[in-house]
Amino acid sequence: MLYECAIIGGGPAGLNAALVLGRSRRNAVLFDDDNGRNLVTREAHGFITRDGICPEEFKQLGHEEIRKYGSIKTENERVINIDRISETHYELTTESGKVFHSIKIIIAAGLKEELPNVPDIEKFYGTSLFSCPYCDGWEMRDQPLAVIADKKVFTLAKEVYTWSRDLAVFTNGEGRLEEEQKQKLLAKGIKVYEDVISGLEGEDGKLKSVRLEDGTLIDRSAGFVTPLWSHATNFAKELGCKQTEHGGILTDDYGRTNVWNVYAAGDASLIVPSQLVIAAGEGSAAAIGVCGDLINEYFDEM
pLDDT value of residue 272: 76
User: Of the residues 225, 256, 282, which one is the last residue of a structural domain?
Assistant: 225
H/E element holding 203? strand 197-203
Residues 107 and 234 in one domain: yes
**Confidence category of residue 302, pLDDT binned at 50, 70, 90:** low
Question: What region, left, alpha or beta, does residue 2 occupy, with left being phi > 0 and alpha being psi -120 to 50 degrees?
Answer: beta
**Separation of CA 5 from chain center:** 22
pLDDT digits 0-9 by tens, 45-75: 888 898 989 988 999 999 999 999 999 999 9
CB 270 within 8 A of CB 282: yes
Tens of pLDDT, residues 188-247: 999 999 999 999 999 999 999 999 999 999 999 999 999 888 899 999 999 999 999 888
How far is Cα of residue 287 from the mean position of the Cα atoms in its chain?
Answer: 19
Give me the CATH number covering residue 172: 3.50.50.60
Helix axes of 153-160 and 179-187: crossing angle, nearest 10 degrees: 10
Same domain, 287 and 214: no
- What pLDDT does residue 104 have? 98
Residue 83 shares a structural domain with residue 133: no
Asked if residue 170 and residue 197 are part of one domain, the reply reads: yes
Specify whether 92 is located in the same domain as 235: yes
Report the C-alpha gap between 43 and 157 in whole angstroms: 22
Q: Is the pLDDT of residue 183 over 60?
A: yes
**Of 202, 225, 248, at which residue does a domain stop?**
225
* Residue 250: how many other CB atoms lie within 10 Å: 15
Query: Is residue 185 within 8 Å of 160, Cβ to Cβ?
Result: no
- Is residue 161 domain-shared with residue 259, that is, in the same domain? no
Residues 92 and 239 in one domain: yes
**Percentage of the chain lying above the pLDDT 90 cut:** 80
Q: Please check whether residues 141 and 221 belong to one and the same domain.
A: yes
Strand-pair partners of 83 = 91
Q: Are residues 218 and 146 in the same domain?
A: yes
Report the alpha-carbon distance of residue 68 to residue 54 in Å, rounded: 22
Q: Answer with the residue of higher pLDDT: 42 or 279.
A: 279
Q: What would the pLDDT profile of 8-41 be if each residue is shown by its tens digit? A: 999 999 999 999 999 999 999 999 988 765 666 7
How far is CA 229 from each of CA 41, 84, 176, 233, rounded to the nearest angstrom?
16, 28, 18, 12
| SS3 state at 9 | coil
Q: Tell which of 172, 201, 225 closes a domain.
A: 225
> Structurally, how many domains does the chain consist of?
2
Q: Domain span at residue 181?
A: 116-225
Regarding whether 188 and 144 lie in a shared domain, the answer is yes
Rounded distance, CA 153 to CA 137, Å? Answer: 16
Whether 17 and 106 map to the same domain: the answer is: yes
Same domain as 68, residue 42:
yes
